[in-house]
Homo-oligomer: A and B are copies of this chain.
Amino acid sequence: MSDVKKVVLAYSGGLDTSVILKWLQDSYQCEVVTFTADIGQGEELEPAREKAGKFGVKEIFIDDLREEFVRDFVFPMFRANTVYEGEYLLGTSIARPLIAKRLIEIANLTGADAISHGATGKGNDQVRFELGAYALKPDIKIIAPWREWDLLSREKLLAYAEQHAIPVEMKHKAGGSPYSMDANLLHISYEGRALENPADEPEEDMWRWTVSPEQAPDAAEYVDLEFSHGDIVGINGQAMSAATVLAELNRLGGKHGIGRQDLVENRYVGMKSRGCYETPGGTIMLKAHRAIESITLDREVAHLKDDLMPRYASLIYNGYWWSPERTMLQTMIDASQASVNGWVRVKLYKGNVIVVGRDSETDSLFDSTIATFEDDAGAYNQADAGGFIKLNALRLRIAAKLKNRSSN
């Protein structure tokens, strides 16, 4: 074990990170600082304080990061209509860089020389935590217990807990959850165990944030969303903070059975993995954001964004939020949103998000006097299209003539 004096641990208060806490104290003989964040996962944080105290932890950080999370991470990501591999809304990925940032801030505050996290050696989260940490503090030591210790099975972990008097909840003794879960204001995810065969449908009782479309209300609900610079700043006429917007959209989406996903995705570490996600508010945001962009963004700006979106999504998925290339793309994406102002009306009904109206008093590029099928009073000269087509066809015609000559 390398020479570590003080380590900041991302601590949830659950079994795994409690075992890690103890293991760090024993293996590294170092002081442990715990950090627990509220990023909207919907769990109480105070028990984490109490538990950490029982392990003799003296520096305990418990932070409410919900506004920062949505304002500085979720919203910027949605400005790009970001989707990984055509489906995944990156709910887990986008929370990690914030945790990494806060871990480093606390290491700086407390004079710690290392950080630690509970992510396994097979997943993307270790990469996201560690790339972020290294980018922000290049000489930080990082302890990833799952890559170091020999507690690789659940039985060994439970035995270690028992041996070290770490309290184990009944559910863990009974075999634990059939899923590995993670949650924040953007989503809740399910992986592993019962989901390992992608040929099988998930059990209905797995889902926690949304009712099934079948159980959703029989009456549709219309919701008005106000956009400013690409972000939602109000719902149904009421201005709201970023985190409040997302919480309210989660409530609405959850109620109407919106935002469930069941996917097989490609991890950065090289394997395919099956994941199920509930992203009710994010699903509404994505649809609405595309709708407001459809009337306020120039065509080529929109296409440039679309062309680069998969790359931007991969950067976030792979853990490169704190990289210069992500910052560079963000600069461009943010610049494009200056005109993305207006409102979108969506209809929510049993799993569906249906855009039923969009307008922008200040920035609409939709000009019905030009697009009209009726007489346009000269706004558009149809004859121009002839020349437009002729020149766009020129290279095709030259090639076709050559081909005809060749075949004669």
Q: Which of B260, B290, B372, B402 contacts A365 (CB 8 A)?
A: B402
Among A191-238, those with CB < 8 Å from B are 191-193, 196-202, 213-214, 218, 220
| A130, A372, A396 interface centre (most CB from chain B within 10 Å) | A396
- The interface centre, meaning the residue of A291, A323, A355, A398 with most chain B CB atoms within 10 A of its CB, is A398
* A262 interface hit (Cβ, 8 Å): yes
User: Once the chains bind, are B349 and A352 in contact (CB under 8 Å)?
Assistant: no
| Residue among A139, A271, A302, A383 with max Cβ neighbours from chain B (10 Å) | A271
Q: Do the beta carbons of A328 and B302 come within 8 Å of each other?
A: no
Contact A272 B371 (CB under 8 A): yes
Interface status of A14 (Cβ within 8 A of chain B): no
Q: Does A279 contact B (CB under 8 A)?
A: no
**Roughly how many angstroms separate A374 CA and B400 CA in the complex, as a whole number?**
24
Contacting pair A147 B385 (CB below 8 A): yes
A382-B121, A386-B384 given as contacts; is B350 within 8 A of A397 (CB)? no
> Is A42 in the interface zone, CB < 8 Å from B?
no
User: Which one of A304, A359, A362, A401 has the highest number of Cβ atoms from chain B below 10 Å of its Cβ?
Assistant: A304
Q: Is the CB of A395 within 8 A of B270?
A: yes
* Minimum CB–CB distance for A27 against chain B, Å: 16
A299 within 8 A of B: yes
Do the beta carbons of B389 and A131 come within 8 Å of each other? yes
> Within 8 Å CB of A192, what residues of B?
372-373
Interface residue stretch chosen among A50-58, A81-89, A167-175: A81-89
Q: What mask results when residues 92 to 103 of chain A are scored 1 for a CB within 8 Å of chain B, else 0?
A: 000000000000
Using CB atoms, name the residue of chain B closest to A405.
Answer: B362
- A110 CB-CB contact with B under 8 Å: no
- Determine whether A264 belongs to the interface, using a CB cutoff of 8 Å to chain B: yes
* B395 engages A298 (CB within 8 Å): yes
Residues of B within 8 A of A381 (CB): 387, 390
A198 to B368, CA, bound (A): 9
Q: Does A126 contact B (CB under 8 A)?
A: yes
Chain B, Cβ-Cβ closest to A193: B373
3 closest Cβ pairs, A-B complex: A387-B387, A121-B382, A270-B394
Residues of A within 8 A of B (CB): 81, 85-87, 120-122, 126-127, 130-131, 134-139, 144, 146-147, 152-154, 180, 191-193, 196-202, 213-214, 218, 220, 260, 262-267, 269-274, 290-291, 294-295, 298-304, 306-307, 310-311, 314, 320, 322-325, 327-329, 331-332, 335-336, 345, 347, 349-352, 354-359, 362-368, 370-375, 380-402, 404, 406
Identify 23 residue pairs between A and B in the complex whose beta-carbon atoms are under 8 Å apart, listed by A's number: A81-B86, A85-B302, A120-B382, A127-B392, A134-B393, A136-B400, A139-B397, A147-B386, A200-B357, A260-B354, A264-B294, A265-B294, A266-B303, A272-B299, A274-B371, A300-B324, A301-B328, A304-B311, A304-B325, A362-B406, A370-B398, A384-B391, A387-B387
